[in-house]
Amino acid sequence: MYRILAINPGNTSTKIGFFNDTELIFSDTVRHDSDYLKRFHSFGEQLDFRFEAINNFIDKNNIDLKEVDFFIGRGGILKPLKSGLYEVNDKMIETLLNPKVEHASNLGALIADDFAKRYKKKAYILDPVCVDEMDDIARISGSPLFPRSTLFHALNQKRMARWASKDLGKKYSELNLIVAMLGSGISVGMHSYGRVIDVTNAVEGEGPFSPERAGAIPIMPFLKYVLENKLDYRQANRLIYGEGGLVAYLGTNNMQDVIKKYNEGKDSKVISIIEAMAYQVAKEIAVMAVPVSGNVDAIVLTGGLSYEKIFTDLIISRIKFITDKILVYPGEDELAAMAEGVIGGINGEIDILEYK
């Protein structure tokens, strides 16, 4: 039996899980105050802060890190990669220490590698956000200067697509599935016969708005605003990533509080914003039916926002014309997915790939 410590840094949380093989023994989700996080200019500056949260978890559960066999972190923004399990190496660390795109997932491999080196063990990532299986036609954006690329919730999307395949009694490689990952960011992907052939880039301004991200906003007014207000790259990026969506409209990223107000039915602004977010998700799901000419076997809704039935019902009411098979898997099982990936790699069921 192998002991595994899995670490999943998110924008405003750090999720930690301790496993015996794939059996979860301890887990916690440490929430970070979004106002407090504003003092950091980059995710890299948060490393000590995140380590403190993880060490508190380790101490609270009396985990002896010397007995941990493997460490795995959520995969960050590297170069485009095939889906799979990657051992963390110096090349990967160098890339993540000098990221082209700021993202919380960049911390995953850095933290796992630090622990692994301390205790002379191995560190891994699985299905990082930069997994790229897109069809060539999907890469064309409208300008050769800005080809489309993939940055999405590959880890959770892949796992839930496989779950859906089992529930449908078929192999993942036999189905066309639209998967909508509904969290602090939202990504929608078309999984066609085992490949994500098209997907919204949830980091760089595509798709629906979400609790923290602006999604696809009108580009000309955005450029005008940036230039007139003399914003630098980081300031402009924050408008899209971190301070967009519900944060921009309602001043909060707490979906539970917003849904509570929605249910009370007294705040017209809350009602309009929640319904608009559901509308945009539904619209993007319909868009993803196009790559397979409408031949969709099922639609999967997953992620933390999927716990809010009133929100998923708003989406489902607009997409049920595509297919009557709509599966809802609330939450994010990324910690378990990472543990399963490590065991799969050790058992030879998954290739352990090298980052070059």
Cβ 180 vs Cβ 299: under 8 Å: yes
Predicted pLDDT of residue 206:
97
Instruction: Please answer whether residues 337 and 156 qualify as being in contact, where contact means their C-beta atoms are separated by less than 8 angstroms.
Output: yes
pLDDT in tens, the chain (356 residues): 899 999 999 878 899 999 999 999 999 999 887 788 888 888 888 999 999 999 999 999 999 999 999 999 999 999 999 999 999 999 999 999 998 888 889 999 999 999 999 999 999 999 999 999 999 999 999 999 999 999 999 999 999 999 999 999 999 999 999 999 999 899 999 999 999 999 999 989 999 999 999 999 999 999 999 999 999 998 999 999 989 999 999 999 999 999 999 999 999 999 999 999 999 999 999 999 999 999 999 999 999 999 999 999 999 999 999 999 999 999 878 999 999 999 999 998 888 999 99
* Distance set, CA 42 to CA 52, 148, 151 (Å): 17, 24, 18
Burial of residue 335 (CB within 10 Å: 0-12, 13-18, 19+) is buried
DSSP code of residue 176: E
Q: What is the pLDDT of residue 349?
A: 85
| Burial readout 156-192 (b: 16 or more C-beta within 10 A, e: otherwise) | bbbbbbbbbbeebeeebeebbbbbbbbbbbbbbbbbb
Q: What is the pTM of this model?
A: 0.86
| Predicted pLDDT of residue 323 | 98
Q: What is the CATH number of domain 3-131+334-354?
A: 3.30.420.40
Distance CA 231, CA 225 (A): 8
Distance CA 227, CA 128 (A): 33
**Contact call for residues 58 and 107 (beta carbons, < 8 A):** no
What pairing do the DSSP bridges indicate for beta strands 186-192 and 195-199? antiparallel
Largest CA distance in the chain: 60
- Cα–Cα distance for residue pair 57/53, rounded to 1 Å: 6
Which contiguous run of DSSP H or E holds residue 256? helix 255-264
Q: What is the pLDDT of residue 250?
A: 97
Q: Edge-to-edge, what's the strand order for the sheet holding 326-330?
A: 195-199, 186-192, 176-182, 298-303, 326-330
Gap between the Cα atoms of 134 and 11, Å rounded: 26
- The segment(s) of the chain belonging to CATH 3.30.420.40 are 3-131+334-354, 136-324
- Homologous superfamily of domain range 136-324: ATPase, nucleotide binding domain (3.30.420.40)
Dist CA 35 CA 264 (whole Å): 27
Do the bridges between strand 176-182 and strand 298-303 make them parallel or antiparallel, or are there none, so unpaired? parallel
CA quadruple 28, 34, 38, 41: dihedral sign: positive
What is the reported pLDDT for 212?
93
According to DSSP, the β-strands at 326-330 and 298-303 are: parallel
3-state helix vs strand vs coil in the chain, percent to 5: 40, 20, 35
C-alpha 295, offset from chain centre: 26
